[in-house]
Amino acid sequence: VLFALNQTLLQHESLRAGSLQAPYTTEDLIKHYNCGDLNAVIFNHDTSQVPNFINTTLPPHEQVTAQEIDSYFRQELIYKRNERMGKRVMALLRENTDKSFFFAFGAGHFLGNNTVIDVLRQAGFQVEHTPPGQPI
């Protein structure tokens, strides 16, 4: 935990100092999300939600630690969260077959692989994205 916190703080300090450039801005994220551009580079990276702990300048033993933490966070913060959300949606749909639903999710549920949409489609559900301005 201390390693992860230190690496996160170092990244944020580097961003603030200008020695590290963020791959995209918050405005980029909002624009692609609003446009329904879920295939954009921003949305195709699992690491967009968690700090990048893997740093080639780290000593070898810390690189192993960084890889383990990165894998843990990806699994716990992204994949399992989306699976839980997908199961909640499926339960509502299966328990209420006579009703229609509209689900809205935050951008984090569409990032990278194993998104909520992926979970639902793998379970056999048909999912359609409705772009802004299009009637439902």
**pLDDT (average), residues 14-28:** 74
Q: What pLDDT is attached to residue 48?
A: 46
Residue of 9, 8, 75 whose CA lies nearest to 46: 75
Say if residue 47's pLDDT is above 60: no
Instruction: State the chain's mean pLDDT as an integer.
Output: 77
**Would you kindly state where each structural domain of the chain is located, as residue ranges?**
1-123
- Please tell me which of 5-19, 84-98, 101-115 the model is most confident about, judged by mean pLDDT: 84-98
Sign of CA dihedral 105, 110, 116, 118: positive
Q: Pick the range with the lowest mean pLDDT from 33-37, 51-55, 56-60, 64-68.
A: 51-55
Say if residue 49's pLDDT is above 50: no
Q: What pLDDT is attached to residue 93?
A: 94
**pLDDT (average), residues 95-121:** 85
The pTM assigned to this predicted structure is: 0.58
Residue of 84, 19, 78 whose CA lies nearest to 51: 78
**pLDDT (average), residues 41-68:** 64
Say if residue 110's pLDDT is above 70: yes
- Rounded distance, CA 46 to CA 50, Å? 8
Q: What pLDDT is attached to residue 46?
A: 46
